[in-house]
A and B are shown apart, each in its own frame.
Chain A
């Protein structure tokens, strides 16, 4: 009886406090009691962000934890979520599959967060269609027109006469932003299905004969091959340049594949302690092998300089 009363009382107290804090607009402070980002000192590293990078991040964390006492936890939610968490100093590392914008870096600085960047692997952002779709090659212009809603039928692209169904990500996704900046140069057509993650796009495209989608290369492949049910499109910048496939590692390493992009880690300040050990492991040969096993590609020479700058 006494215990129940205690429980009820403390619940009431917590709720009242919650309301009070909400009133004063300090909800962050209230919830902040339950989490703290000072844990990195004790070897507990929190990584949050890109859905594209969750699998590779987890693979790297597991490999790292096998040989270290540090604990790494990797969660997804989208690059935007990771950036927001870094700005609010809630995480040690933000996984971001695009580049942080200037205004985001400024916001972080205003919060006392000094942003440093590292590159953990390369992605050849894959444009995928259903395996039954005969369309194999697309240019930037064509993909952009499809996603802007200007091309609505596969017949216009030499395919069968069926309406195109669009699959893409939600606005919290770095891939959503990267794709829009680099391919669309405009807004997504509002009939695009906004899926919750790469895996859902893959499932959607496999089940839908008229689908087109975009996912990180690690989600489009299985053991280096196209995942069954998917067709990975060869992409060219325009009709005069050559079509390149993201399935060929050289195309991503040299940048011949036009949607090759770095997968970024952003830190608050120069990495130290457990975070430093983790990033050193990632850029080591062993770490890069783990990245390749997860379906992505090693950091290309162009971006190794970013890591050299970070670690020296």
Chain B
């Protein structure tokens, strides 16, 4: 009698366990379903572009003018180059600054300083991108124009600076975690061998934290490549092929944001914007893939 009660309880517990397991499994699957759904949508809406535009023109032409007066053109090379320009430009600014800041926070700063600085840096991430874009127009732009003696500051440098600022909190926060979690023994061993703390930081701590720092940089890059509003406001959006960092550029994201609002449904222009979205999707996917491979490689190297 008693034992059967227990076994029934057991059974209920088992079923409950199963249900919970199933629930979490369903959640995991859902993420995949959503991802596939999004990719399917991008493809199903994007592919009809190529009924009227050749893939070769789409991927090799530098002229984008779907609402042309006479002859619509759909070439996205200029926009891909623009996107890569601001993304790498932002990394050139934010990676050294971010890692230096993270190293300071993790290794040099007193606990009290860190307690004040870290939340403030993380607050930087909560500034809306429109606000940053606005600062790009009224503050960063005129400053760039004055420094480089240009007529205006709506160019790739402006976009890079803004994106750099936006990527900073991500890079600092994650790098700092990575540097902090380097085992104390590594540093002590290095110091015991007679090196100074600068040498220890550069030769021991940072290399040991490299996988975390790489992840931080990749996440910062993902943030920069997908950012829309700030670059839309600050880079001028001229559809011409970018000539230099001092010229106006137009990114993939800005193009979608500008044109999707007014485009008539089920036209080549509408489909082409989804195709642009698919290209952007593939680009971010590649970045994530590369960062994953890098992470694994370094993870193995450590063992």
Which residues of A does B touch, CB under 8 Å? 8, 12, 15-16, 19, 22-23, 77-78, 80-81, 83-84, 107, 162-163, 165, 170-172, 180, 184-187, 190-196, 200, 203-204, 207-211
Q: Is B117 an interface residue, CB under 8 A from the partner?
A: no
Contact with A along B262-280 (1 / 0, CB 8 A): 1110000000000000000
A residues near B142, Cβ cutoff 8 Å: 207
Given contacts A22-B41, A204-B152, whether A194 and B34 have CB atoms under 8 Å apart is: no
Say how far A174's CB is from chain B's closest CB, in angstroms: 10
Q: Is B239 an interface residue, CB under 8 A from the partner?
A: yes
Query: A172 and B258: CB pair below 8 A?
Result: yes
Query: A192 and B238: CB pair below 8 A?
Result: yes
B residues near A170, Cβ cutoff 8 Å: 237, 258-259
Out of B38, B141, B237, B262, which one reaches A207, CB within 8 Å? B141
Query: A196 and B233: CB pair below 8 A?
Result: yes
Query: B239 and A165: CB pair below 8 A?
Result: no
Q: Which residue of B lies closest to A163 (CB)?
A: B151
B residues near A80, Cβ cutoff 8 Å: 261-262
Query: B236 and A200: CB pair below 8 A?
Result: no
Tell which of B62-70, B181-189, B200-208 binds the partner. Answer: B62-70
Q: Which residue of B lies closest to A80 (CB)?
A: B262
Contact with A along B160-201 (1 / 0, CB 8 A): 000000000000000000000000000000000000000000
A residues near B262, Cβ cutoff 8 Å: 78, 80-81, 83-84, 171-172
Q: How far is the CA of A196 from the CA of B261 in the complex (A)?
A: 13
Tell which of B25-33, B83-91, B95-103, B286-294 binds the partner. Answer: B25-33
Q: A171-B262, A195-B236, A208-B145 are in contact. List 7 more A-B contacts (CB 8 A).
A: A12-B30, A22-B41, A170-B259, A171-B67, A187-B68, A195-B237, A196-B233
Out of A22, A81, A190, A208, which one reaches B261, CB within 8 Å? A81
Q: Is B215 an interface residue, CB under 8 A from the partner?
A: no
Say how far A60's CB is from chain B's closest CB, in angstroms: 23
Q: Which residue of B lies closest to A28 (CB)?
A: B265
Out of B30, B40, B258, which one reaches A15, CB within 8 Å? B30
A residues near B27, Cβ cutoff 8 Å: 8, 12
Q: Lowest 6 CB-CB distances: which A-B pairs, in order?
A: A80-B262, A172-B262, A19-B37, A193-B236, A194-B237, A190-B240
Say how far B240's CB is from chain A's closest CB, in angstroms: 4
Q: How far is the CA of A140 from the CA of B239 in the complex (A)?
A: 24
Q: How far is the CA of A208 from the CA of B141 in the complex (A)?
A: 10
The interface on chain B, measured as residues whose beta carbon lies within 8 A of the other chain's beta carbons, has a size of 39
Q: List which B235-254 residues lie within 8 A (CB) of chain A.
A: 236-240, 248, 250
Q: How far is the CA of A285 from the CA of B151 in the complex (A)?
A: 44
Q: How far is the CA of A77 from the CA of B259 in the complex (A)?
A: 11
Q: Which residue of A lies closest to B241 (CB)?
A: A190
Contact with A along B9-34 (1 / 0, CB 8 A): 00000000000000000110010011
Q: How far is the CA of A63 from the CA of B23 in the complex (A)?
A: 55
A residues near B65, Cβ cutoff 8 Å: 187, 190
A residues near B216, Cβ cutoff 8 Å: none
Q: Which residue of A lies closest to B62 (CB)?
A: A190
Q: List which B41-71 residues lie within 8 A (CB) of chain A.
A: 41, 63, 65, 67-70
Query: A211 and B151: CB pair below 8 A?
Result: yes
Query: A193 and B30: CB pair below 8 A?
Result: no
B residues near A192, Cβ cutoff 8 Å: 238
Q: List which B118-136 residues lie within 8 A (CB) of chain A.
A: none
Query: B151 and A209: CB pair below 8 A?
Result: yes
Which of B65, B70, B264 has the largest count of A CB atoms less than 10 A from its CB? B264
Say how far B47's CB is from chain A's closest CB, in angstroms: 14
Query: B237 and A16: CB pair below 8 A?
Result: no
A residues near B248, Cβ cutoff 8 Å: 191, 193
B residues near A84, Cβ cutoff 8 Å: 261-264
Out of B137, B153, B261, which one reaches A172, CB within 8 Å? B261
Query: B152 and A165: CB pair below 8 A?
Result: yes
A residues near B153, Cβ cutoff 8 Å: 207
Query: B137 and A200: CB pair below 8 A?
Result: yes
Which of A12, A180, A209 has the largest count of B CB atoms less than 10 A from its CB? A12
Say how far B172's CB is from chain A's closest CB, in angstroms: 30
Q: Which residue of B lies closest to A130 (CB)?
A: B151
Q: How far is the CA of A78 from the CA of B260 in the complex (A)?
A: 12
Say how far B39's CB is from chain A's closest CB, in angstroms: 11
Query: A194 and B33: CB pair below 8 A?
Result: no
Say how far B223's CB is from chain A's closest CB, in angstroms: 21
Which of A78, A196, A200 has the largest count of B CB atoms less than 10 A from its CB? A196
